[in-house]
Amino acid sequence: MIRRVQVSAALALLPLAVIPSFRRLSAQDSSRISEAQTVLSALVESYGVSGAEGPVRETVKRLLPAWARPETDSAGNLWVRLGQGDPLVVFVAHLDEIGFTVDSIRDDGSLVLRTRGGFFSSLFEGQAGLVHSARGDVAGIFLPRDSGFTRHNPPPVRVDVGASSRAAALALGVAAGSTVTMPKQYVRLAGTRATGRSFDDRVGDAAQILALRHLDRTKLKHAVIFIWSTREEIGLEGAGAAAAALGPTPRRVHAIDTFVSADSPLERRNFAVAPLGQGAVARATDNSAVTPPAYVDSLVAVAQARHIALQVGTTNGGNDGSTFTPYGVVDVALGWPLRYSHSPAEVVDLKDVASLADLVQAVAEIW
């Protein structure tokens, strides 16, 4: 026993060599940046593939201010209502992230997958995997290809959980319909930058939470609803249900979602150029909606009144607010610049997160 303890003591010293001293990177944070990081990191490290957002929804509930009374609708959306009177203004950020579901289990125990959302499957090939089963998370690997080595894109990826048969995989709790991701971690980079997977749209979720924590409910001149929506990545489904429930009642909807930025060494810069670190972005035109120019001007005026950094631009993608527009509701989408969207290495600037939260608060209070 003594020998084992001594060997363990020796081995315990080894891992210290690989524990990076990343903490120093956040030593100089302001309280705003620090709070944004605390909220955002908890959300990023929760898992929620489209249709299985439960863990993220619970994290949102935990982070809300004590006065909030969240309600979950039949689509899985989380609602927080505050203020009274017209016009009703809605904010919506989505809970879900891209990933896979198990489509079937082969005789050899490997899992055949179905994608949920749009992304490059090459980013998952040959990486660690995580199957979210009813009995807990099961570790595995996304199998590397066994042919086609001269091509960038792999054949459909499968997962190996170390089971040698279908029965063995089932015994681990894996089943058709289980969601599949890869392990993820919020990591601070230099300055106020950070990396992780699913910043799209956990930054939007965080901004709504931060705004609710700081806004002055006595200043509200009208009713406001904050929604954390489900299944955005597979067709704006949760928001669609919320929009149908509210009909033409809201005056405006503010989708709080990613502004995919061309601020990257690999992107063409003919549009979507919103540099990181220069504030929130009015997502004035995307593939799903156009904000009327007069509303963009009003938004800019709100930001100026509160001295909030705001960029205005156009990017690709759809947003939850577009499901409200058929009911006559104006979609004024807000975002923040994101690099490397839908990858395991998305990058944000925490100054932009704080800016976005301030803007959401200002819009709720004074517009």
Partner 1 sequence: MSDSRIVGLSDGKIGLMVLLLSVNPSIRPSAQTVADLTLRLSAMTAVSGYEQAVTDSLVALLPGSAKDRAGNVVLTLGRGAPKRLAVCPLDEPGYVVGNITDDGYLTLRRVGRSPNAPPPPAPPPPPWALFDQQLEGHRVTLFGRKGPVPGVVAVRSTHLQRGRPAAAEQPFTVDDAYVDVGAATRDEARALGLDVLTPVALTKRPLHYGTGLLAAPFAGRRAACAALAAAALGKPKTGGTVVVAFTVQSLQASDAGLNSVMRLLGPFAEVTVAGVPAKFPDTAVETVALADVETLMRRLVSWIGGGQ
Tell which positions 191-210 bind partner 1, by CB under 8 A: 191-195
The encoded tokens of residue 173 equal: 């709790």
Among 43, 340, 352, 353, binds partner 1 (CB under 8 A): 340
Minimal distance, residue 155 CB to partner 1, in Å: 13
- Considering the complex, state which of residue 305 and residue 345 has its C-beta at the smaller distance from partner 1: 345
Sequence-distant (≥ 6) Cβ neighbours of residue 293 within 8 angstroms: 284
Question: How far is C-alpha 58 from the geometric centre of its chain's CA atoms?
Answer: 14
Site string for partner 1, 299-338 (x = CB under 8 A): ----------------xxx--------------------x
Minimal distance, residue 206 CB to partner 1, in Å: 19
User: Residues 174-190, buried b or exposed e (16+ Cβ, 10 A)?
Assistant: beeebbbbbebebebee
- Considering the complex, state which of residue 67 and residue 271 has its C-beta at the smaller distance from partner 1: 271
Q: How many CB atoms lie within 10 A of CB 198?
A: 27
- Considering the complex, state which of residue 204 and residue 250 has its C-beta at the smaller distance from partner 1: 204
Find, among 236, 128, 218, the residue nearest to 182 by Cα: 128
d(CA 367, CA 360): 10
Tell me the three state secondary structure of residue 58: helix
> Which part of the chain contacts partner 1 (CB under 8 A), choosing from 38-46, 208-216, 235-243, 255-263?
255-263
Judged by CB under 8 A, how many residues of this single chain contact partner 1?
A: 78
Binding to partner 1, residues 266-285 (CB under 8 A):
266-268, 272, 277
Q: How many CB atoms lie within 10 A of CB 152?
A: 7
Pairing of strands 310-314, 280-285: parallel
Residue 104 interacts with partner 1 (CB under 8 A)?
Answer: no
Minimal distance, residue 6 CB to partner 1, in Å: 5
Residue 115 interacts with partner 1 (CB under 8 A)?
Answer: no
At 140, give phi and psi (nearest 5°): -165, -170
Binding to partner 1, residues 6-65 (CB under 8 A):
6-11, 13-22, 25
Site string for partner 1, 146-165 (x = CB under 8 A): ---xxxxx------xxxx--
Among 249, 278, 325, 343, binds partner 1 (CB under 8 A): 343
Sequence-distant (≥ 6) Cβ neighbours of residue 339 within 8 angstroms: 261, 263, 264, 276, 346, 347, 348
Q: Going edge to edge, which strands form the sheet with 346-349?
A: 187-188, 193-196, 346-349
- Considering the complex, state which of residue 35 and residue 200 has its C-beta at the smaller distance from partner 1: 200
Minimal distance, residue 269 CB to partner 1, in Å: 10
d(CA 210, CA 56): 16
> Which part of the chain contacts partner 1 (CB under 8 A), choosing from 89-97, 296-304, 342-350, 351-359?
342-350
- Considering the complex, state which of residue 126 and residue 248 has its C-beta at the smaller distance from partner 1: 126
At 174, give phi and psi (nearest 5°): -75, 140
Among 68, 175, 187, 302, binds partner 1 (CB under 8 A): 187
Among 47, 79, 119, 324, binds partner 1 (CB under 8 A): 119
Residue 127 interacts with partner 1 (CB under 8 A)?
Answer: yes
Minimal distance, residue 239 CB to partner 1, in Å: 18
Residue 139 interacts with partner 1 (CB under 8 A)?
Answer: yes
The encoded tokens of residue 325 equal: 């527009």
Count, residues in the chain: 367
Specify which residues 196 forms β-bridges with: 346
Q: Is residue 251 exposed (0-12), middle (13-18) or buried (19+ Cβ within 10 Å)?
A: middle
Residue 287 interacts with partner 1 (CB under 8 A)?
Answer: yes
